Amino acid sequence: MSHTILVVDDEPKLREVLAATLQELGYQTRMAESGMAALEQFDNDPVDLVLSDLRMPGMSGQQLLAELRRRAPNVPVVLMTAYGTVKDAVQAIKDGAFDYISKPFEIDELEATIAKALRMYTALSDNLRMREELEGRYRFENLIGTSPAFHKVIEAIAEVCESRASVLISGESGTGKEMVARAIHFNSSRRGGPFVAINCAAIPEGLLESELFGHVKGAFTGAVSARQGRFAQADGGTLFLDEIGDMPSALQAKILRVLQERSFEPVGSANPRNTDVRILAATNKDLREAVRSGAFRSDLYYRLNVFPIHVPPLRARREDIPLLVEHSAHSLAQHMSKAQPSFTPAALRAMQDYAWPGNVRELQNCIERAIIVAKGNVVDVGDLPQDLFTQSPAGHEAVRIPSNLDAELDRLEREFVLEALRRTSGVQVKAAELLGVSERSLWHRIKKLGISIARRATT
């Protein structure tokens, strides 16, 4: 897409020559004879760059710059001046100009300056768009689920997002722990800062320290230059330590120090560096058990567990599945440039009955596959993966089907009666109470099953 440039100059001939030259370079151009005329045009139809003379009657180029900065801080302004003093240049840059060029100038110089300014404008626009998309994706209304279990998660995010407290997010793989961490960040006062994530289980132990804290040149073999770590990258924002339960013990001690002292030392350096980072951590392990077994430091656990949030597995919030299906189908269909499909009641029932061991991540993969497989705009049972029907529903273990149901029921009944009689030393009145049946009913079962009662029950 061609960029649009607004040329502002009180000299008609120069204004027209510049506009024609820029058009030959592939840009769309507009012209204004004064600062006020330029603002009026900009308010009606913004442009990608403003090229303005510095000295103009009425509103000067510097005054125009100040007004443009107020209206659109990201739009670059290049100033032209015949009075190319260092003082003018420094003041123009201080006031927010991208650059300035002195008259007379070469077209090559103008072209290079404008190209550089527009590259910066495009990068800033892309970053802003991505940030707005991320912030929008993690607004509270986009956290999908109305079940009581998920409502507790949303309430917890709302309670903790504005504090500086460390948060420990627990839950099975695929439940959306990083989604919770991002929601905390983008709904906090740190939303303008970076969100940096690192998976502690995905990086070899020998490299993890450098990844977290960075290193100086020559710190180890292969360190040919200094490198910034994740703590430095996240300064002023949030650092998300995913799968912290897999972090080696030596590094646990260093993370604890950062939490206590708000400083760290890059690998190979003895100079501490201050950091303003909020720590959010996540794990799919039972860290309490890891603390008891000595696999995880208790002092670090208590530092991280200031505000715990547990993300429930999908099988514990099955009533949310239709909402998640609709939301994911909409997003995936847009990404795949397809119309959003509808799901038949039978397909939704099958999805609600399934255990989802991979949780929300597995559900999203299932929906993506169904959109690809479905012949039309309706997803039916036949479009779903066969795993939904070959595995046991609702998270239960697969049930063994007996070859003789009557014999199996007799066996189970016999075991229960024998256990009750053993616990009561063969006293049938007490055994009947334990089983919740009448003494007469128990007597009939003992006769039917051929159980002999002596001092203690036997077979």
CATH of residue 429's domain is 1.10.10.60
Question: Looking at the 3D structure of the chain, how many domains does it have?
Answer: 4
396: in domain = no
Same domain, yes or no: 60 and 96: yes
| Nearest Cα residue to 41 out of 75, 82, 86, 81 | 75
pLDDT computed for residue 104 by the predictor: 80
Q: What angle do CA 276, 130, 191 make, to 5 degrees?
A: 30
pLDDT computed for residue 456 by the predictor: 47
Q: Are the beta carbons of 83 and 57 closer than 8 angstroms?
A: no
Same domain, yes or no: 292 and 356: no
Same domain, yes or no: 224 and 289: yes
pLDDT at 89 over 70: no
Same domain, yes or no: 198 and 346: no
Same domain, yes or no: 163 and 306: yes
Q: Are the beta carbons of 179 and 197 closer than 8 angstroms?
A: no
Band (6; pLDDT cuts 50, 70, 90):
very high
pLDDT at 248 over 60: yes
Same domain, yes or no: 224 and 85: no
pLDDT computed for residue 302 by the predictor: 93
Q: How many CB atoms lie within 10 A of CB 421?
A: 24
Same domain, yes or no: 160 and 252: yes
Residue 419 lies in domain: 405-458
Amino acid at 361: R
CA separation for the pair 30, 42 (Å, rounded): 10
pLDDT computed for residue 402 by the predictor: 65
- Write down which residue in 292, 310, 328 finishes a domain: 310
Same domain, yes or no: 177 and 219: yes
Compute and round to an integer the Cα radius of gyration of the chain: 34
DSSP string, 397-441: PPPPPPS-HHHHHHHHHHHHHHHHHHHTTT-HHHHHHHHTS-HHH
Band (397; pLDDT cuts 50, 70, 90):
very low
Q: What's the rounded mean pLDDT across residues 84-97?
A: 72
pLDDT computed for residue 94 by the predictor: 81
pLDDT at 313 over 50: yes
DSSP string, 261-278: HSEE--BT--S-EE---E
399: in domain = no
Instruction: State how far Cα 359 lies from the chain centre.
Output: 16
In this structure, of 134-143, 413-422, 442-451, the range with the lowest mean pLDDT score is 134-143
Query: Crossing angle for the helix pair 148-160 and 177-186, nearest 10 degrees?
Result: 40
Q: For residue range 332-352, list pLDDT tens digits in order.
A: 988 888 888 999 998 998 899
Greatest mean pLDDT among 61-75, 123-137, 288-302, 393-407 lies in 288-302
CA separation for the pair 393, 355 (Å, rounded): 5
Higher pLDDT, 180 or 120: 180
pLDDT computed for residue 358 by the predictor: 92
Higher pLDDT, 129 or 380: 380
SS3 4: strand
In this structure, of 51-55, 203-207, 400-404, the range with the lowest mean pLDDT score is 400-404
pLDDT computed for residue 331 by the predictor: 86
253: in domain = yes
Higher pLDDT, 311 or 271: 311
Verdict on whether the full-model pTM lies above 0.85: no
Percent composition of the chain: helix, strand, coil (DSSP 3-state, to 5)? 50, 15, 35
Q: What is the DSSP letter of 139?
A: S
Q: For residue range 32-48, list pLDDT tens digits in order.
A: 999 999 999 998 888 99
Same domain, yes or no: 115 and 227: no
pLDDT computed for residue 60 by the predictor: 87
Q: What's the rounded mean pLDDT across residues 72-96?
A: 77
171: left (phi over 0), alpha (psi -120 to 50) or beta: left
374: in domain = yes
pLDDT at 283 over 90: yes
378-379 vs 307-310, strand pairing mode: unpaired
305: in domain = yes
pLDDT computed for residue 406 by the predictor: 77
The pair of structure tokens assigned to 384 is 């779903």
Same domain, yes or no: 21 and 121: yes
Q: What's the rounded mean pLDDT across residues 51-62?
A: 88
pLDDT computed for residue 74 by the predictor: 83
Mean pLDDT over the full length of the chain: 85
Q: For residue range 157-185, list pLDDT tens digits in order.
A: 989 988 889 999 999 999 999 999 999 99
pLDDT computed for residue 77 by the predictor: 92
pLDDT at 240 over 90: yes
307: left (phi over 0), alpha (psi -120 to 50) or beta: beta
pLDDT at 7 over 60: yes
The b-or-e profile of 234-272 (16+ CB within 10 A means b, else e) is bbebbbbbbbbbbbeeebbebbbebbeeeebbbbbeeee
pLDDT computed for residue 329 by the predictor: 92
pLDDT at 196 over 90: yes
Band (459; pLDDT cuts 50, 70, 90):
very low
pLDDT computed for residue 185 by the predictor: 92
Strands (E), 321-421: 342-343, 378-379
Same domain, yes or no: 305 and 371: no
Q: Are the beta carbons of 172 and 285 closer than 8 angstroms?
A: no
Q: What angle do CA 170, 397, 201 make, to 5 degrees?
A: 30
Same domain, yes or no: 279 and 341: no
